Amino acid sequence: MTSPERSETVHKPPVAYDAVVLAGGAARRLGGVDKPGIRVGGRALLDRVLGACADARTTVVVADPRPTARPVAWAREDPPGGGPLAALDAGVRHTDADRLVVLSADLPFLQEPTVRRLLDALAQAPADGALLTDPDGRDQPLVAAYRAEPLRRTLAGLAAEHGGSLTGLPLRRLTATLDLIRIADPVASFDCDTWDDIAAARARIREHGHVLEEWISVVKDELGIDLDVDFRGLLDVARDAAHGVARPAAPLTTFLVGYAAAQAGGGPEAVAEASRKATALALRWAEENADDKPDQKPDQKADGKPGRKPDERPDQEAAPKADQQTGRRTGKQPDADRANQANPAPGAAG
């Protein structure tokens, strides 16, 4: 954290936090399937949420252990299936940060900037927490950032009121007690409770305006790459290589750009520099090709050999040539000419 005596103009480092992700629900409206494992845009819902809180000091997933895209700690409420408040309490017990981000595992559109926005809102006001609201204005307490002390105190108080157990208690008992900042975000707060929700999430991800960002994010996760990719710059490189050289040069050039960037130590700067060099080369290649074309005759190929006339088909036979001495045509005669010679028309014979 930035010390109080520092000037406010100094860039403050991100607030340290722990994350608790609830992933052990019964998913009754989905027929009891493994909801956190359902894939949207090529990634399990749980992995998408874990990507949004990747910079947490500790991430605790409250569910039975399973393979995940990144390492996490595991916890389970006792008894299992005791509801969201009991699960939240089980996860919080494995954390020690002053700030806690609490998330459900069914948020297909949650991204790191939203998590950071919640933490920033909490840092700028003396509230107990900051949460998102859905399009209908309803609180989403499982897309929220909380101060750890009041959250722990409230959970303990609710448990004491109910015989030491939080089993079966609804989340609204938590939100009714805490002082909360509310932030409207209809996209990041979208959760998948039904198959229609899953279908809507998959359709949105494949929309033209989102598909490239989603695809790049999925590929980075799959390959274990943590890099801000200027994919528009890479698309420009591919375009220039395709137009200035040849279409197959596009994927080959972008591969070589990535390889060169890795050889240079990786990072956005290395990618940008390799892209700049490849683009400049492709443009020089195109300029040389353009300089050669004005000297080319209309009926001549680039290799200097006579070219085919525009109206001449490649499968068209050459017209019969005339013999210079007899004036008679040579070469293969069409079948109609041979037929006319064999059966001359009346009056044609001399």
Residue 92: partners with Cβ closer than 8 Å, 6 or more residues away: 20, 100, 148, 151, 152, 155
Distance CA 311, CA 135 (A): 63
Residue found by looking up tokens 């989603």 in the block: 214
H or E element at residue 132: strand 129-133
Alpha-carbon distance of 171 to 85, in angstroms, equals 6
Torsion 239-242-248-249 (CA) sign? negative
Per-residue pLDDT, 223: 75
What's the confidence (pLDDT) of residue 294?
58
Phi and psi angles of residue 320, each rounded to the nearest 5 degrees, phi first:
-60, 140
User: Rounded CA gap, 239 and 6, in Å?
Assistant: 47
| pLDDT at 268 exceeding the cut of 60 | yes
Overall pTM surpassing 0.85 (yes/no): no
Q: Report residue 192's pLDDT band, with 50, 70 and 90 as the boundaries.
A: very high
Q: Please indicate whether residue 159 or residue 258 has the higher confidence score (pLDDT).
A: 159
Q: Which residues pair with 182 in a beta bridge?
A: 131
For the stretch 90-149, pLDDT in tens is 999 999 999 999 999 999 999 999 999 999 999 999 999 999 999 999 999 999 999 999
Q: Beta partners for 181? A: 130
Neighbours of 158 (CB within 10 A): 17
- For the sheet with 59-62, list strands across it: 73-75, 59-62, 18-22, 99-104, 139-147, 129-133, 180-184
> Which residue's entry shows tokens 């954390």?
95
Determine the pLDDT at residue 102.
97
Q: In this structure, what token pair is assigned to residue 108?
A: 């297909």
For the chain, give the percent of residues with pLDDT over 70.
Answer: 78
pLDDT for 348 equals 43
Determine the Cα–Cα distance for residues 129 and 159; give it in Å rounded to an integer: 20
Indicate if the pLDDT at residue 309 is higher than 70: no
Query: pLDDT tens digit string along 48-87?
Result: 999 999 999 999 999 999 999 889 999 999 888 889 999 9
Predicted pLDDT of residue 109: 92
Q: What pLDDT is recorded for position 245?
A: 87
The predicted pLDDT at position 313 comes to 42
